[in-house]
Amino acid sequence: MKRPSVLVLLLGCLCLTRIAAAAPQTYFYPFVNPYEATVMELPEFFEVRLPEKVPTRHFTLRVFPEREIPEVFWYEDGLGCTLAYQDHEAPLVFLIAGTGSSHTSPRMVRLQKAFYQGGFHVISLTSPTHMDFVVNASTGLPGNSPDDARDLYRVMELAYRKVRGTIKVSYFALSGYSLGAFNAAFVARLDEEKKVFDFRRVLLMNPPVSLYDAVSSLDRLLVENIPGGTEKFDQWFRDVLAKLSWVTKDMGHMELSGDFLYNAYKRLQPSEENLAALIGLSFRMSSANMVFTADVMNGGGYIVPKNLRLTPSTSLTRYAIVSYGTRFVDYFDELLFPSCRQREPGLTRQALLERLSLRSLEPYLSSAGKIGLIHNEDDIILMPGEIDYLRGVFGKRARIFPTGGHMGNMLHPQVVSFALDFLTGKER
Amino acid sequence: MGYAAERMVFAAIAVSVFVLLCGCSTLPGQTGQFVPPLRTYEATVKAGRPHMLEVPDSFEGFNRGVYRFNYYFDEYFFLPVVRTYEFILPDYVEDRISSAVDNIGEFGNLTNNLLQLKFKAAGITLSRIVINSTVGVAGLWDPADSWGLRRRTEDFGQTLGRYGVGHGSYLMLPALGPSTIRDTVGLAVDTAAFSFAGPGAWVDSTAASAAYSATAAVDKRHRIPFRYRQSGSPFEYELLRMLYTMKRDYDIAD
């Protein structure tokens, strides 16, 4: 009786090892709730290991040297960029930040390290929706993707000109996350005409399909998840902050960054509504920064009166209140669309909406073998059906993970290794 | 004594320089006909219900000037000093310094807990001083904390708040950052008490007092991760003002 059982065991083991060898490594992600996945940082244990420090250099671009920066933005003196450099010849990837993020945001810094570790020179770029970009590098109103792509392309050319004497580049690649990925798709298409970089690989990480739909749903997260409605926002905010203050007593300080809020909030037992509202709030704050800055840079009339010269000591409180009360979709309908129509008299609202969507690039995206996609099935910025749409467009060039929310899994080892494999052309 | 007087003279000069520098609050200029914006404050805010961003700020023009000054002060002086400090000293030594500075600062916590009649917290603070000054080797370590005696921070601004004194107006202090009239008075009282009746008076050495003040200042900045203009928001001044005053309200309530 003993022998057969040993044999069975051995056979069983053999089968198991064979199955294990055949099946791809299973993807495990600790948060199944997409809001939690989006907000919470991946516990270090699950994250790819990143070097503590990589060789970097910060530099500033004066994109329009003639441009007079309004006094109210006295702290703006050029667009900052970061280069992470290899000491040997390597591909250079441009990395575009997501909505309202700068090249030094914690997520950008970590992605830069991940790409550096994968053998790339990396130039990190601030999002065209960040105030630094709007003040220093935008030609018009941010949010109009083809224009944003031209502005970004100009910045990339200047940035490369600034560093090319110091690094050896084998080829160019492009990537971005969230709105930065959306921007990257338009930049890639523009590059097909301009051919300055002739990107060999382009990787889109968690882009929205339709800009308008994505921002509307992010706005709804705030509006629909405050207990008692936005009328009760003050109460809700004070409540969240009171809890935060209690939690951060030990830390002895408070910070204005979203990451800090998230980290501190994580210690509490946040409800799904609160998580959703916080995601919405963080988005609303980024968009308010952009709307106000864009209005000032374009002569005013939307948030600030036309012909008013704001100085460094002018109170901005009332404009802040109006800006925080403005949804991105209001900005679209009341400022961006009218301004686009002024340039193109026949333009309809629907036509503009379609233009600001990956669907407008569909023929290009489905045929361009160099463009890949990383996304999550439960990403909160996608509408129902859009993940299947993306699967259809990108086919084998898409890697869709079942969970991870909006970029929660970005530094998961499997996500990073797919990204690096794709950018180096080693994808399976 | 001499040192405290010197500091006051220095403070008086600094204040007058700042008034000159920052006091010239300019009204927004107008370059053409006034055209009201599409979205207005009046249409956004319900009458009679102040918005949470609207914190009383009688010296806003001046405060914004100081905010701007602080940005440059940090950028070109304070942070380079802090970075040098962090470069020279190992993290371990920095933590010991923080701990020692905190221990000396317990004097203020003790008096203010007593003034607020928080006798339990005062008792804990006193125990912490005794334990940390002895077992913790002059406060270099904080064994009291690991024994469950948590630090109970209170300052005279909080004490005033406890007895019903409101913020007064928001006030941005040069180099020190966000404050209010009440908290500035509190800070002045705490500093005076420290210098004339507290640890400052127990040491009869100007050099030692100066070294302590400088170290405490650098240590404090070293521990605050806030950097001006890193929020990426044109409304950072407003956000900072709101968060500071709210935070102080919670500190007083608890």
Instruction: Supply the CATH number for residue A389's domain.
Output: 3.40.50.1820
Q: Do A100 and A151 share a domain, yes or no?
A: yes
Residue B224 lies in a domain: yes
Does the distance separating the beta carbons of A246 and B254 come in below 8 Å? yes
pLDDT given at position A250: 54
Q: Do A104 and A194 share a domain, yes or no?
A: yes
Q: Do A124 and A239 share a domain, yes or no?
A: no
Residue B99 lies in a domain: yes
The domain in which residue A91 lies consists of: 34-209+358-423
For residue A12, pLDDT beyond 50: no
Q: Do A48 and A187 share a domain, yes or no?
A: yes
Q: Do A40 and A129 share a domain, yes or no?
A: yes
Mutation target vs A (from B27, B41, B233; most A CBs, 10 A cutoff): B233
Distance (Å) from the C-alpha of residue B199 to the closest C-alpha of chain A? 23
Give the closest residue to A310 by CA, choosing from A332, A337, A292.
A292
Residue A271 lies in a domain: yes
Number of domains in chain A: 2
| Token pair of B60 as six digits | 């806003």
Q: Do A294 and A161 share a domain, yes or no?
A: no
pLDDT given at position B31: 67
pLDDT tens for each residue of A349-375:
999 999 999 999 999 999 999 999 999
Residue A263 lies in a domain: yes
Contacts of B225 in chain A (CB under 8 A): 253, 255
Residue B28 lies in a domain: no
Residue A5 lies in a domain: no
Given A315, A343, A371, the domain boundary residue is: A343
Stretches where chain B sits below pLDDT 50 are 1-2, 17, 20-21, 23-25
Residue A38 lies in a domain: yes
Does the distance separating the beta carbons of A301 and B38 come in below 8 Å? yes
Q: Do A156 and A255 share a domain, yes or no?
A: no
Contacts of A325 in chain B (CB under 8 A): 39, 44
Mean residue pLDDT across chain A? 88
Number of domains in chain B: 1
Confidence of residue A29 (pLDDT cuts 50, 70, 90): confident
Coil, helix or strand for A374? Answer: strand
Q: Do A339 and A364 share a domain, yes or no?
A: no
Q: What's the rounded Cα separation, in Å, for the pair A186 and A365? A: 10
Contacts of B234 in chain A (CB under 8 A): 72-73, 131, 289, 292-293, 296, 316, 320
Cα dihedral sign, B220-B222-B228-B232 = negative
Distance (Å) from the C-alpha of residue B137 to the closest C-alpha of chain A? 22
Q: Do A191 and A55 share a domain, yes or no?
A: yes
pTM of the model: 0.89
Q: Do A160 and A50 share a domain, yes or no?
A: yes
pLDDT tens for each residue of B92-148:
999 999 999 999 999 999 999 999 999 999 999 999 999 999 999 999 999 999 999
Pick from B39, B232, B254: CB nearest A130: B232
Q: What is the DSSP string of B48-105?
A: T---TT----TTHHHHHHHHHHHHHHIIIIIHHHHHHHHHHS-HHHHHHHHHHHHHHH
Residue B14 lies in a domain: no
Report the relative pairing of strands B29-35 and A398-401 from DSSP bridges.
Answer: unpaired
The domain in which residue B161 lies consists of: 76-253
Residue A185 lies in a domain: yes
Residue B68 lies in a domain: no
ipTM above 0.90, yes or no: no
- What value does the mean pLDDT take over residues A222-241? 84
pLDDT tens for each residue of A51-93:
999 999 999 999 999 999 999 999 999 999 999 999 999 999 9
Contacts of A314 in chain B (CB under 8 A): 26-28, 64
pLDDT given at position A259: 54
Residue A348 lies in a domain: no
Does the distance separating the beta carbons of A305 and B36 come in below 8 Å? yes
Does the distance separating the beta carbons of A255 and B225 come in below 8 Å? yes
Pick from B53, B68, B71: CB nearest A321: B53
Does the distance separating the beta carbons of A322 and B235 come in below 8 Å? no
Residue B67 lies in a domain: no
Residue B143 lies in a domain: yes
